[in-house]
Structure 1
Amino acid sequence: MSPGADHAHVLGRLAVVEARVRRAVAARRTTDPQPDDPFRGLYVSDHRVEQLLDETERPVPWPDPVDEALLRRVEQDADAARGPVRLRLLAERFGLVPLDVELLLLATAPDLDSRFEPLYGYLNDDVSRRRATIGTALRLCGCAEARLDGRVRFGHDAPLVAGGLVVIDDAERPFLSRALRVPDRVTAHLLGDDRPDPALLDVLVAPPPVGHLPLPGDEALAGALDRGACLVYLREQPGASGSLLGATALERVGRPVLTVDATRLAATADPVATAGVLVREARLAGAGLVVEPVTALADRPALLRLLATAPVSVLLVGPGAWDPGWSFEPPLQFTVTAAGVEVRESTWRSMLGARLGEGVDPARETAQFQLDPPQIARAARAAVLQADLTGTTVDGPLLRRGAREQNAAGLEGLARRIEPAVGWDDLVLPAAVLTALHGLAARARHRDLVLGRWRMRPGGGRGHGLIGLLTGESGTGKTMSAEVLAADLGLDLYTVDLASVVDKYVGETEKNLEKIFVEAARVNGVLLFDEADAIFGKRSDVRDAQDRYANMESAYLLQRMESFDGLALLSTNLRANLDDAFVRRLDVIVDFPTPGEALRRALWDRCLGTRLPRAHDLDLDFCARAFDLAGGSIRAVAVTAAYRAAEAARPVEMGDLVTAVAAEYRKLGRLCLDREFGAYADLAG
C-alpha cells in the first residue's frame, strides 16, 4: 500500500468526522441565545444555567444518512487500492470495533486539521479545552454519556487505551471532561510514516547484518511462529546467535523485525513505559520483537511480564536456562546451536567478496574462534578496513585480527589482557614439550569438528572448552608458551590476577570466578590462571568451618571448569598440590623441565638477541655449562648485563654476564661458589 492511499483514506474518514462536528455545532447554535458572544466559554450566564437545568442529553444522531453515503464512497476508494489501508490494518491488529475507530478519528482530528481545535472548544463550552473530551466524543458518536457500552471503550483495559492508541489526560477532572490525545507516532503511522517512535532510538538496534542463510532450526522456529507461538525463549549455545535465528524465522513468516538491546532498555528513565511504546510499535508495524540479552532484565519482573504478555511475537534471547519466575505463561523454549562450518564460510566469503586474498580459506584461518554469523560479518568489515590501509587483499592475519576485535571488553576489568608479540621461533624448549604445545594448539583449532560435529564428548553437561596444564619450575617458559599459543591461534591472552579473585569472605571467591568465566565465554581468547595451585589446590579433611568452605570452593571450581566453553590454561610450579579431580578433567598436561646444557646454550644466545652489541670475550659455552639457570633467569641476567653495557657505553662483556649471574643468584637465594664461577670467581663479588 502506498503512503498516498493511506493518506487519502484517513482524510476521507476525517471528512465524515467533520460533517458530524458541523451538525453538532449547528445544533448547539440553534439553542444558544448569544451565539456571537465574544466571551463564550469564559463564563456561564444565568440564561445558560437555566438552559442547562432544563436540557436533557442530546447525542448527535449517528450514523446519519449523509455520513453513511460519504463513508461508503471513502471505503470504496480504499477497496480499489492495492492492499489493505493502514487504518483497517490498525483496527485488525489492535482488535478495534467500529466505535473504537470513530473515537480514534475524533481524537486525532485536531492533529490533522487545526480547524477542529476551536470547534472542539465551542462544543466543550470552554475555549481552553481544544481537544475532544470523553463526553464530547461519546455524544458525537451518538452514545449517551451515562451508557456503559460507550464508557467502557475508555477503560484501562480497552483496546484504545491498553494499546497506547489514545491517551486520556487530566486524570483529576471528572471522567467525561477528560481530554483525549493521540500520540504523534500513531498519527504519523496512519499517514504512512514508518519511522519508529523517537523514544526508541536508543533502544532499537540494527538487525543482524547477515540474512538469507540456512541456520539450524530456522524452519522449525518459523513454523511455530506461523502457528501462533507468541512468547519464545532462544537459549544460545557458544558461537550461536539467537537474534539472527529469531530475525530469520520472523522474516520467513513475512513479519518485520524490531531488534531490542535489553541492556539499553533497562537503562532508560522508565523501562516499563518504554516497553509499552515498543509493543505499540511492533503492533503498528505487524512486527515481532527480538530482545537480547534477557539477563539484563532478570531483576525487572514487571518489565519481563509486560513483554511476556504482549499480543505480538516476542523472542527473548539469553545464554542460560529460563527462569519460571520471569513470566506466568511458559514460553516455547528453543535451543540455538552454532552455525555449521559451511554457514560460517559462506558468511565470510559473502562479506569479503573480491577482497579475500587468493588461496585464503577464511573458515580454516578462524576455526579457533567461536563467532556467530553477525560477528563474522563485523569481523569481515573490520578486516577489509585494515586491508584498505595498505591497499592489499584480506589475508589470514587480518581475518584473525578482525575476529579478535569482536571480543567483549568485560573481561579486561577482571584479567590483564596481553596482545601476543612472540611466536614459535622464540621458544627454546625440548622437542617433546614443543610437540605437546603444538598438539594443544591443534585441539583448539579442531574442537568444533571433534567435539561438535563428531560429538566426541557427549553427555554429562560438559562444555566444548579446552583446559591445559603447564607445569614446571619457575622460569622454564610456561607463561611465554601460553603467549605463543595465543599468538599462533590469533587470540589475545588474558592473565587472571589472583589478587582480584581470592577473597577472605565466604563465597566471594566463587562469585569473582563466576564473573570471569561468564565474561570469558563472550571472549575469543586464552584464559591463563598463573600460580593455579592457589585456587585449584587439593581438598582436605574437614576439621573446622574454614576447611568446609575451602572444599566447597574447590567443588564449585570442579563443576565450573567442566562446563566451561572457552580456552583455559593453568600454570603451576607445584603440580603435586593440584587436586586429583582437577587433573582428571584436564585435556592436556605439558611438563616443562629445567633446561639442560644444550638448551641453556641456545637460551643464552636467544636472550642476548641480535641487536645487543657483543664483545669478543663472551663465552656462552662456559655460561651454559657452569650456570644451572632456567630460561627466565637467563633472560633476567641478559637484561641486567645489557644495562651495565649501556651505562658504560660499550658492547656487553663477559664480566657483565658473570656479575649479572651473581646478582641473580643472590636474588634466588643461592650461594656464589668459586668452583661454579671458575676463572671468573673474582667477578662474582
Structure 2
Amino acid sequence: MPQALAESPNSPRLSAFSRLDDLLAQADDAVTTGRGAHGPLSRPPPRPSWEQVCASHGAWAWLRTRYGLSDIELDLVLLALAPEANLRYGRLYGCLQDDPARGRPLVGLAMDLLAATPEERLAVRSAFGPQAPLTRHRILALVPDPGVAAPPLLAHAMVLDDQIVDVLLEQPGLDWRLASCCRLEIPGPEITRPEVPGQADQAEDAVGRETLAGSVYAAPAAPPSWAGPYGGPVRWYAQGPEEADRDGPARELAARDGRPLLTVETRCLPDDAQGAASMLALAFREAFLLGAVLCVDDLEGLDRLGGERLPRERTLEGLLAGHNGDVVITGTRDWQPGGRYVLGVLPVPVAVCDIAERRALWEKELTAHGADTGPADLRDLAARFRLGPRRIADAALTACATARRRAAADAGQWVPPRLTRPTRAELFASARGQSGHALAALAHRVEAVHGWDDLVLPGDVAAQLAELRARLAHHHQVMDAWGFERRVARGSGVGALFSGPPGTGKTMAAEVIACELGLDLFRIDLATVVSKYVGETEKNLERIFAAAADTDAILLFDEADALFGRRAEVRDAQDRFANMEIAYLLQRMERHDGLVVLTTNVRRNLDEAFTRRLQFVVEFPFPGVVERERIWRACFPPRAPRDPALDLGRLARDFRLTGGSIRDAVLHAAFLAAADGVSIGMSHLLMAIGREFQKLDQVMPGRLPDGGEG
C-alpha cells in the first residue's frame, strides 16, 4: 500500500493522519496475508490513540468534547477529512472501492476499515442514525451514490462539513457559504482558530455558559454585569426603527470582551425556508467556532420565509436554545419567543440618535474627510434627517466625493481633498440618498424643482405657507429643546390641508416647501392603496406610514377626498367598513411624526374630524387679474423667444384661467411657435387658450364655439 503522506507522522498537526495511516496499513496487511479485511485474529488498535491525538491537537480535543464523540465517530470524521488534506487519500479510497472516481469514503468502506466483528459493524452503522451526534449536529453529510437507484446506507459517501474541515485543518476566516449573508468584524488584523489551552477549559460551567473551547477568545472566567440571565449566555432583542443603531448593543458586547462580531443579514438569506434554516444553523455554529458575538439583524427579514412565525419559532428559537454563545437579535416590532424553549430573551429598546448626537456625528465624519462645514449646515442636517451613525458616515463620504468630483471638473485636474468642501446642496442630496428607499417602493418620488418665486399667491396664503415652512424648520428646537413634545397629547407631526380649485398651485406649494427644506416629496398613488378587500386598504396605508416613519420625507395625498371622505350613516356592511378606514386614518395620522399634506378640490368633501386634527388649512383661491398676469410672466423661461407685441395684461384680464391652465397654454403655444419657426406670438397663445377652454368644456370668451372671432 502506498504511503499516504510524505510529511512526518510525528508532527502534531499530522498525528491524526498517522492513526489513519496505521489503520490503512492494518487493512493492507490483512488483505496481503490472505485473511481478508476481517480475519479471524483481532487487529490491534491503530496508533496513536485518540487520547494522544487530542492531547497534541486542540481542535480534535474540542470536537470530541463539544459533541461528545466516541472513538469510532472520531475515526469516521478522520476518514472523511483525509481527502480534504491530501488528494492521495482520495486516490487510495478509489482503489479500495474498485472505482477511481470515488474519492470519498463510502459508509461500507468505513465499516470494512473500522469493524472486525458484526457487533462493531452495527456500532459503526448506528453512528449515522438521525439522533447520532454526527448527523444531528451536521458534522457529516451522507451523499447517495448517483449511479445506484435507491442506494442503501453503505453506498452513501461521507462528506465532512466545511466548517469542521476548517477547524481541524486550522484554516482562518469566515465559512465561504456564509459570505453572501454574513458579515464578520474582527478585533485584530486576522482571525485564527488556535488550539484548545487544555482539558480544563473544555468543560461547560455549572450555569450553562460554555467556555467556547477551540474558539478564538475564551469566555471570561466570571460573568460580567452585562451577562445573560443567571450568568448564562446573553440573549438580547434590540428593538427600534431602522434608522436607530440597532446593532450597537452587539458591537458593544463584542468590544467589551474583545471578541469578533458575526452579523447575519436575514434579508440576504435564501428565499426558501429550508435553505434559510440551514444557513442560520451554519451561522450559529460559525459564531461558536470563532467565539464571536452573533447578531441576527432584522427579525422581520425572516417573515418572508414560509409564513409569519414558522421560521422564528421552529428555526431561530431552536437554534438559540442549542447555542451557548451570546446572541443579539434586532427588529422593529415587538417580539417575544413562543415559549417552546427557556431562552431568557431581554428586550433592549434602541432609540434614534437625537439631534445633538447626529450633529456631532456629521461634524466628526466630515472633519475626518477634511471638509470644513458651517454650523448652520450641520444644525440643519441633524434637524432634518434622522439618520443613524452608519448612514451619516456614508452620506458624509458621498458628499465629499461629490465635492471632489465637482472641484476636479471645474479645475480640469485633480484637486487635493483638503481644498474641497461640500456645498449645502451636496450635503442635503447625500443625506436624502440615505433615506426613503423603502418608501420609494410604495409611493412616487416627486422631483421638487419649484421655488418661492414660482408661486403666485395672495399675501395671506403665502404667509400661511411660510409659517408651515418655519414650523418644520424649527420643529426640533421647539419640540425637543424647549420641551413642548411632553405637552403634546398626540403625535408631534404636522398635517396640512391644501384646498382649492384645480390648477391653483396646491401640489406646487408642497414641492416648494420640500425644495426649501431639502426634503424628499412622495406622492401617494391612491390606485395602489385603495382595495376592495376588507382590511387591505389599512394594511397598505400602514406600510406607507411605517416606511415614512424611518425617513424624513413629506407625504402628499393628492385628491385626498377619495380616502379622507366624510363618514356616512351606516346602512350596510360597505358603509361600516368605509367608516372603519376613515377612523384608522384619523388615528394613524396622529401618530405620524412627519409632514402629511392633503390636497382636495372641495374642502367640504372631507370629514370634519380631519380638519380638526390638522395644524394648517390653506385655501388656494382662484387667481385674480393681478395674480394671473404674474403667472403669465412667470411661465416664460428667460431664453424663450417672445414677440414684442405680446400683451400678457390683456390675456390676464380677458381669460379667467388658473395657474395650471396658464402654464399648459404657454407650453402649447411654444410648440406651435416652434412648428411655425417664429417667436411665440399672440396668435399662438390665443390658439392654446382655446384648447384649454375646450378641455374645460367651456366656451372661450370673445370667440365663437367653433373657434372663429366673436
Structure 2 counterpart of 1:167:
141
Structure 2 counterpart of 1:303:
311
- Whether 1:200 aligns to 2:178 is yes
Structure 1 CA distance for aligned equivalents of residues 132 and 476 of structure 2: 52
- Shift in Å at residue 382 of structure 1? 2.0
Cα gap change, 1:609 to 1:163, in 2 (>3 Å): same
- Shift in Å at residue 433 of structure 1? 2.6
Cα gap change, 1:232 to 1:412, in 2 (>3 Å): same
Q: Structure 1 vs Structure 2: percent identity of aligned residues?
A: 36
- Whether 1:480 aligns to 2:508 is yes
Deviations 1:266-297 (A, max 9, x none): 42682222222222222211223323332231
Aligned residue for 1:494, secondary structure, equals: strand
Structure 1 counterpart of 2:632:
604
- Whether 1:270 aligns to 2:275 is yes
Structure 2 counterpart of 1:186:
164
- Of 233, 239, 263 in structure 2, the residue corresponding to residue 235 of structure 1 is 239
Cα gap change, 1:587 to 1:253, in 2 (>3 Å): farther
- Shift in Å at residue 651 of structure 1? 3.6
Q: Which amino acid aligns with 1:314?
A: V
Kindly report which structure 2 residues correspond to 1:72-111, keeping only aligned pairs within 5 A, or say none.
74=56, 94=66, 96=68, 104-105=77-78, 107-111=80-84
Structure 1 counterpart of 2:350:
336
- Shift in Å at residue 453 of structure 1? 6.2
CA contact (8 A) 1:110 1:117 kept: yes
CA contact (8 A) 2:495 2:596 kept: yes
- Whether 1:439 aligns to 2:436 is no
CA contact (8 A) 1:222 1:252 kept: no
- Whether 1:12 aligns to 2:12 is yes
- Whether 1:315 aligns to 2:328 is yes
Structure 1 counterpart of 2:32:
35
Aligned residue for 2:349, secondary structure, equals: strand
CA-based RMSD of the aligned residues comes to: 4.4
- Shift in Å at residue 574 of structure 1? 1.5
Structure 2 CA distance for aligned equivalents of residues 102 and 367 of structure 1: 64
Structure 2 CA distance for aligned equivalents of residues 8 and 484 of structure 1: 79
- Whether 1:364 aligns to 2:380 is yes
Aligned residue for 2:497, secondary structure, equals: strand
- Shift in Å at residue 324 of structure 1? 4.8
Structure 2 CA distance for aligned equivalents of residues 486 and 337 of structure 1: 26
Structure 1 CA distance for aligned equivalents of residues 121 and 432 of structure 2: 67
Deviations 1:241-266 (A, max 9, x none): 32344334333333322222212214
> Once structures 1 and 2 are overlaid, which stretch shifts more, 466-475 or 402-411?
402-411
CA contact (8 A) 2:524 2:555 kept: yes
- Of 347, 350, 369 in structure 1, the residue corresponding to residue 361 of structure 2 is 347
- Shift in Å at residue 669 of structure 1? 4.1
Deviations 1:607-645 (A, max 9, x none): 234333333443444444454433223323333443444
CA contact (8 A) 2:499 2:602 kept: yes
Structure 2 CA distance for aligned equivalents of residues 134 and 395 of structure 1: 72
CA contact (8 A) 1:466 1:567 kept: yes
CA contact (8 A) 2:448 2:511 kept: yes
Structure 2 CA distance for aligned equivalents of residues 113 and 327 of structure 1: 45
- Of 257, 267, 279 in structure 1, the residue corresponding to residue 261 of structure 2 is 257
CA contact (8 A) 2:26 2:43 kept: no
Cα gap change, 1:615 to 1:222, in 2 (>3 Å): farther
CA contact (8 A) 1:131 1:179 kept: yes
- Shift in Å at residue 223 of structure 1? 1.9
CA contact (8 A) 1:527 1:569 kept: yes
Q: Which amino acid aligns with 1:15?
A: S
Q: Runs of 5+ in structure 2 lacking a partner?
A: 1-6, 187-223, 408-419
Relative to the length of structure 2, the TM-score reads: 0.76
> Once structures 1 and 2 are overlaid, which stretch shifts more, 335-344 or 478-487?
335-344
Kindly report which structure 2 residues correspond to 1:447-462, keeping only aligned pairs within 5 A, or say none.
447-448=475-476, 450-451=478-479, 456-457=484-485
Q: Which amino acid aligns with 1:379?
A: A
Structure 2 CA distance for aligned equivalents of residues 645 and 306 of structure 1: 69
Q: Runs of 5+ in structure 1 lacking a partner?
A: 1-6, 38-46, 76-84, 209-220
Cα gap change, 1:68 to 1:645, in 2 (>3 Å): closer
CA contact (8 A) 2:491 2:590 kept: yes
Structure 2 counterpart of 1:41:
none
Aligned residue for 2:269, secondary structure, equals: helix
Cα gap change, 1:136 to 1:537, in 2 (>3 Å): same
Structure 2 CA distance for aligned equivalents of residues 59 and 567 of structure 1: 82
Deviations 1:434-464 (A, max 9, x none): 3332333333344455555666445999655
Structure 2 CA distance for aligned equivalents of residues 150 and 36 of structure 1: 25
Cα gap change, 1:366 to 1:635, in 2 (>3 Å): farther
Structure 1 counterpart of 2:397:
381
CA contact (8 A) 1:231 1:308 kept: no
CA contact (8 A) 2:461 2:620 kept: yes
- Of 578, 581, 590 in structure 1, the residue corresponding to residue 609 of structure 2 is 581
CA contact (8 A) 2:642 2:681 kept: yes
Structure 1 CA distance for aligned equivalents of residues 650 and 301 of structure 2: 63
Count of equivalent residues: 633
- Whether 1:528 aligns to 2:531 is no
Deviations 1:489-512 (A, max 9, x none): 223322222233333343333343
Cα gap change, 1:17 to 1:184, in 2 (>3 Å): same
Relative to the length of structure 1, the TM-score reads: 0.78
- Of 569, 584, 591 in structure 1, the residue corresponding to residue 597 of structure 2 is 569
- Shift in Å at residue 571 of structure 1? 0.8
- Shift in Å at residue 146 of structure 1? 5.6
Structure 1 CA distance for aligned equivalents of residues 605 and 394 of structure 2: 44
- Of 531, 542, 551 in structure 2, the residue corresponding to residue 514 of structure 1 is 542
